[in-house]
Amino acid sequence: MSVTQSGTGADAKGSVGIRGEPGPTGSASAALVAAVLGFFVITLDVSGVNVALPAVGDELNGSLSGLQWVADSYTLMFAALMLSAGALSDAVGARRAYGWGLGVFTLASLACGVAPTLGGLTAARVVQGGAAAVMVPASLALIRQAFPDPDKRARGIALWTVGGAVAIAAGPVLGGLLTTEWSWRAVFFLNVPAGLAGFLTLMRAARSPRHPAVFDLAGQLTAVLALAALTFAVIEGGHHGLTGTVLAASGIAVLAGAAFVAVEARQRAPMLPLELFRQRGVSVPVVAGFACNAAFYGGVFVLSLFFQEQRGQSAFSAGLMFVPMAVITAHFNYFSPRAGSRYGPRAVVVAGLLTGAVGCGGLAAVDTGTPPWVTALAMIPLGIGGALAMPALTSLMLDSVAAERAGTAAALLNTSRQTGGALSIAVFGALLAGDFAPGMRESLLLAGCLLVANALGSAALLPRR
């Protein structure tokens, strides 16, 4: 489920220094460990925090809309800054960009852990998300730099994806355990020693060369404004109706979105070349990736609240419910590339999307009287669906663009996926605001319909092989 990022090709044993001068000898294994550790922490922060949200609400007197912002503020900045983060990595060097991102992420995690109010926690989550957006492309560039040999680099990227898969599996359990035994604050404090370990490891990696890069400031600002205004309108509109503030936010989202398109069409070096969308191998993965993350992360958000607030489970017990899905999902991440080679990406993508839709349909029938083991089994198809579809969508997208645009394609796909996760939490939270049980059912059925629609579209638009 990873995507490659265009980056540097410096040899780890004789690297080029920060400004092109000979640099000190670096360790390829150190670069890999640092990259994997960072991606693990970033992913863990998403999956672990969702389970801790009810405890956050209890201690900080947070409403459902406030808890949505705790989750979405991180994901929004992650999505909005991803497109230009690759340019930053090229401009200052992958190791330096990664170090900056890791440092800010660690400090923001500390700020989350000591936040006295929900507003303070949300603000710190915004900073966390921005730092995470810098770390992801820089971590992949570090791996590319450390392993010039394609086979070794492929194994390095595979280990990078394993770090994310393990974090998805461990996040709910670890987050639930820390929340139950200590406090939800411990979920954030856990990032501090991990960040320090990442720094110590990064110091042994080779310094990275710099490459000229153009920052599309106007495009970046309009993208952030459009996504933030849209999410605000969805969250607040679901809880308070079509108030003047919600209508104003909707108007800002539309205007900012139009401005973004206009800016990108006129820029000489846009962060998002619009002509990419003319290729089906790009447009289909972008839309389908949005749907996959919307269903998965929206589903995890809804179920985390359901287990604790409707069934009365502890945070740790709720985290354990996700383990079967997460473990099996990790295995299907490895199966998907082999299936794509044998049957073609179209078949694997369609099968994955339909499997996820079946999972959403099964979960929509779950209620407080459903045995826990039945609920845990019903979650498995949702995880399998994304694990099948995303590697195939990633390969399809990267195969559809020139090598020099691989980084842009990677950032675009990640942006689409994170945006899907953020908006689904906003929409599903609005549906839950009334009666929880009908809202949960409607949320999961909506996710299933979105996956089915994308499966039909992928079957119609993608070539058979």
Question: What is the domain partition of the chain in residue ranges?
Answer: 10-215, 216-270, 277-465
Mean per-residue pLDDT for 362-366? 93
* Count of residues in the chain: 465
pLDDT computed for residue 6 by the predictor: 35
From 18-27, 64-73, 339-348, the region with the lowest mean pLDDT: 18-27
Distance between CA atoms of 78 and 81, rounded to whole angstroms?
6
From 16-30, 63-77, 350-364, the region with the lowest mean pLDDT: 16-30
User: What is the average pLDDT value for the chain, to the nearest integer?
Assistant: 81
Distance between CA atoms of 226 and 24, rounded to whole angstroms?
43
Distance between CA atoms of 308 and 315, rounded to whole angstroms?
7
pLDDT computed for residue 16 by the predictor: 36
What CATH number matches the domain at 10-215, 1.20.1250.20, 3.30.300.30, 3.90.1150.10, 1.10.730.10?
Answer: 1.20.1250.20
In tens, the pLDDT along 94-106 reads 788 888 899 999 9
In tens, the pLDDT along 252-294 reads 989 988 998 898 888 877 777 788 788 888 889 899 999 998 9
pLDDT tier for residue 90 given thresholds of 50, 70 and 90: low
pLDDT computed for residue 158 by the predictor: 66
Kindly report the backbone phi and psi dihedral angles of residue 226, in degrees, each rounded to the nearest multiple of 5, phi listed first.
Answer: -65, -45
pLDDT computed for residue 2 by the predictor: 37
pLDDT computed for residue 5 by the predictor: 35
Q: In this structure, how many other beta carbons lie within 10 angstroms of the beta carbon of residue 104?
A: 18
Q: In this structure, how many other beta carbons lie within 10 angstroms of the beta carbon of residue 327?
A: 15
Mean per-residue pLDDT for 223-243? 77
Which residue is it, tokens 């920052």?
215
Say if 10-215 and 277-465 have the same CATH topology: yes
pLDDT computed for residue 393 by the predictor: 84
pLDDT computed for residue 12 by the predictor: 34
pLDDT computed for residue 72 by the predictor: 80
pLDDT higher than threshold 80 for residue 197: yes
458 Cβ partners below 8 Å, 6+ apart? 284, 288, 346, 349, 350, 353
pLDDT higher than threshold 90 for residue 209: no
Mean per-residue pLDDT for 323-329? 83
Phi-psi region of 117 (alpha: psi -120 to 50; beta: other; left: phi over 0): beta
pLDDT computed for residue 356 by the predictor: 94
Which has the closest alpha carbon to 356: 290, 274, 414?
A: 290
Kindly report the backbone phi and psi dihedral angles of residue 448, in degrees, each rounded to the nearest multiple of 5, phi listed first.
Answer: -60, -45
pLDDT computed for residue 17 by the predictor: 36
pLDDT computed for residue 406 by the predictor: 62
CATH of domain 277-465: 1.20.1250.20
Buried b (16+ CB within 10 A) or exposed e, 203-226: ebbbbbbbeeeeebebbbebbbbb
21 Cβ partners below 8 Å, 6+ apart? none
DSSP sequence for 286-308: HHHHHHHHHHHHHHHHHHHHIII
pLDDT computed for residue 240 by the predictor: 66
In tens, the pLDDT along 162-181 reads 777 777 777 888 888 888 88
Angle between the 372-399 and 280-305 helix axes, to the nearest 10 degrees?
160
Tokens at 399, concatenated: 């195969």
Which residues, in sequence order, are bridge partners of residue 200? Answer: none
Torsion over CA: 329, 330, 331, 335 (sign): positive
Buried b (16+ CB within 10 A) or exposed e, 153-172: beebbeebbbbbbbbbbbbb
Q: Say which amino acid occupies 404.
A: E
DSSP conformational letter for 148: -
Distance between CA atoms of 25 and 11, rounded to whole angstroms?
9
In tens, the pLDDT along 121-143 reads 999 999 998 898 888 878 877 77
Give the best-scoring range by mean pLDDT among 304-313, 392-401, 452-461. 452-461
Distance between CA atoms of 407 and 141, rounded to whole angstroms?
9
pLDDT computed for residue 465 by the predictor: 66
Buried b (16+ CB within 10 A) or exposed e, 30-69: bbbbbbbbbbbbbbbbbbbbbbbbbbbbeebebebbbbbb
pLDDT computed for residue 10 by the predictor: 35
Distance between CA atoms of 98 and 81, rounded to whole angstroms?
14
pLDDT tier for residue 338 given thresholds of 50, 70 and 90: confident
Instruction: Tell me the pTM.
Output: 0.76
**H helix or E strand, kind and range, residue 194:** helix 191-202
